[in-house]
């Protein structure tokens, strides 16, 4: 959506900050995903709910027929409320509570992605108590690094996620002995905001090796979940507003040896581009050497710049004045409450509306009430 396409008039009367979601772009994105996997009827794309649990956004994604990837009982309930079929829900996470496991079992979710043998035992016991069976896959820690921000890689041997690939066989054999567990497959996830397709090729190679090794030892795997992680172009939100799904799915078509059903768990690439945080300039302040544009939005609505030093493109929707440099900051009492330094914007005045782009993923869903601030509103346009 280019600057002139935002419904500026309707924004003026709204309380800021709020998230604006471009429904047409989300629909186009979901259609591209559908087309990209249309030749693989047994591939299943799940939406990683953690990226954005806004009920309207979730409902649009459920209506498009995707499954849901959840990491808490709250997300499982939100997914069911939004219309995702329980059989299409997968539930991951290193620390599932007993009540969350019970909720998943009672709802009849499609899969528990289990991250330790201790958790497997608890799921077996709870399923036994409820008189049902649990469909289980194991999350494998593939020890594959991804070329992305250090705090969002998850597939390295040192981190807390999954079971190391050398220990998987032992876990599967335990699952096969437990009376209330049905073992299905392997689950992987190497990180987020990955734009270098060779990282996904490395993941495919690891998966191929894992399956071959298990099959050689007489263990049959029934499906594979390759996780999520496809990145988007934060620098140029108007240039390629739909993520590179063609190239991404092609990697798996070309590099996975197996013909087993494959599951995906995409979050950011589905929803980041369609979301914009709309905020007002409260004050323009002359510093000694620079100018500050002080917004009414802060790290409590969008924490990514403060937390990861993440870049989000910004535009002054209200002004065509000369381009000027600003440090764009929020009102929260933290020195990291900065959206960008030396940002070039059309000249800012009090009351101007500023668009912070590509904020549909890990924006609203990571909002907090720090400093007793209100959670942001949202508008789906």
Residues making contact with ligand LLP (CB under 6 A): 48, 51, 69, 92, 152, 154, 189, 192-193, 227-230, 265-269, 304, 308, 361-362
Answer whether 69's CB lies under 8 Å from 47's CB.
yes
Instruction: Name the residue nearer to ligand LLP (CB basis): 165 or 304.
Output: 304
Instruction: Name the residue nearer to ligand LLP (CB basis): 104 or 345.
Output: 104
Answer whether 54's CB lies under 8 Å from 381's CB.
no
Residue 84: CB partners within 8 Å, gap ≥ 6? 58, 62, 66, 67, 68
Q: Which of 27, 26, 21 is nearest to 6 (CA)?
A: 21
Q: How far is the CB of 12 from ligand LLP (least distance, A)?
A: 29
Instruction: Name the residue nearer to ligand LLP (CB basis): 280 or 304.
Output: 304
Instruction: Name the residue nearer to ligand LLP (CB basis): 301 or 352.
Output: 301
Q: How far is the CB of 207 from ligand LLP (least distance, A)?
A: 15
Please list, residue by residue across 13-35, b when 16 or more beta carbons sit within 10 angstroms of its beta carbon and e when fewer do: eeebbbbbbbeebbeebbeebee
Half-sphere exposure of residue 229: CA atoms within 13 angstroms, side-chain side: 29
Q: How far is the CB of 361 from ligand LLP (least distance, A)?
A: 6
Three-class SS state of 354: strand
Instruction: Name the residue nearer to ligand LLP (CB basis): 11 or 200.
Output: 200
Q: How far is the CB of 352 from ligand LLP (least distance, A)?
A: 26
Q: How far is the CB of 235 from ligand LLP (least distance, A)?
A: 15
Q: How far is the CB of 96 from ligand LLP (least distance, A)?
A: 13
Instruction: Name the residue nearer to ligand LLP (CB basis): 193 or 378.
Output: 193
Q: Which of 239, 336, 323, 295 is nearest to 16 (CA)?
A: 295
Helix, strand, coil percentages in the chain from 3-state DSSP, rounded to 5: 35, 25, 40
Three-class SS state of 171: helix
Q: How far is the CB of 206 from ligand LLP (least distance, A)?
A: 16
Q: How far is the CB of 90 from ligand LLP (least distance, A)?
A: 9
Residue 239: CB partners within 8 Å, gap ≥ 6? 233
- Strand 223-225 relative to strand 262-266: parallel, antiparallel, unpaired? parallel
Instruction: Name the residue nearer to ligand LLP (CB basis): 223 or 352.
Output: 223
Length of the chain: 381
For residue 341, the tally of other CB atoms under 10 A from its CB is 13
Residue 312: CB partners within 8 Å, gap ≥ 6? 234, 277, 302, 304, 305, 339, 340, 356, 357, 358, 359
Instruction: Name the residue nearer to ligand LLP (CB basis): 152 or 282.
Output: 152
DSSP H helices, the chain, are 8-12, 23-36, 55-63, 73-82, 98-107, 117-130, 168-177, 197-216, 245-255, 268-271, 304-308
Q: How far is the CB of 66 from ligand LLP (least distance, A)?
A: 12
Instruction: Name the residue nearer to ligand LLP (CB basis): 82 or 348.
Output: 82
């Amino acid at each position: 959506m280019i600057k002139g396409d935002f419904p500026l008039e309707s924004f003026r009367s709204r309380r800021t900050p709020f998230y604006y979601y471009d429904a047409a772009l989300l629909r186009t994105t979901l259609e591209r995903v559908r087309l990209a996997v249309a030749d693989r009827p047994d591939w299943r794309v799940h939406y990683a709910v953690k990226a954005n649990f806004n009920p309207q956004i979730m409902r649009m994604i459920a209506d498009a027929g995707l499954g849901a990837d959840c990491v808490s009982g709250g997300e499982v309930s939100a997914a069911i409320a939004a219309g995702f079929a329980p059989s299409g829900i997968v539930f991951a996470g290193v620390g599932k509570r007993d009540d969350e496991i019970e909720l998943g079992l009672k709802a009849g979710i499609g899969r528990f992605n289990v991250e330790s043998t201790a958790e497997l035992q608890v799921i077996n016991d709870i399923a036994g108590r409820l008189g049902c069976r649990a469909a289980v896959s194991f999350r494998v820690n593939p020890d594959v690094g991804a070329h992305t921000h250090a705090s969002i890689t998850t597939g390295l041997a040192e981190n807390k996620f999954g079971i190391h690939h050398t220990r998987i066989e032992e876990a599967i054999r335990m699952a096969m002995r437990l009376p209330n567990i049905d073992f299905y497959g392997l689950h992987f996830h190497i990180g987020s905001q990955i734009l270098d397709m060779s990282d996904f090729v490395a993941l495919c190679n690891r998966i191929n090796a894992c399956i071959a090794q298990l099959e050689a030892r007489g263990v049959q795997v029934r499906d594979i979940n390759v996780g999520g992680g496809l990145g988007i172009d934060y620098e140029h939100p108007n240039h390629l507003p739909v993520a590179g799904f063609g190239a991404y799915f092609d990697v798996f078509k070309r590099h996975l040896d197996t013909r087993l059903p494959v599951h995906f768990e995409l979050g950011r690439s589905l929803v980041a581009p369609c979301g914009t945080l709309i905020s007002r300039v409260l004050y323009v302040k002359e510093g000694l050497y620079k100018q500050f544009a002080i917004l009414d939005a802060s790290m409590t609505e969008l924490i990514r710049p403060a937390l990861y030093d993440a870049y989000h493109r910004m535009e002054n929707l209200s002004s065509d004045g000369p381009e000027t440099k600003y440090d764009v900051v929020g009102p929260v009492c933290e020195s990291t409450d900065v959206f960008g330094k030396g940002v070039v914007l059309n000249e800012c005045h009090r009351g101007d509306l500023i668009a912070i782009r590509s904020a549909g993923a890990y924006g609203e869903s990571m909002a907090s009430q720090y400093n007793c601030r209100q959670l942001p509103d949202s508008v789906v346009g």
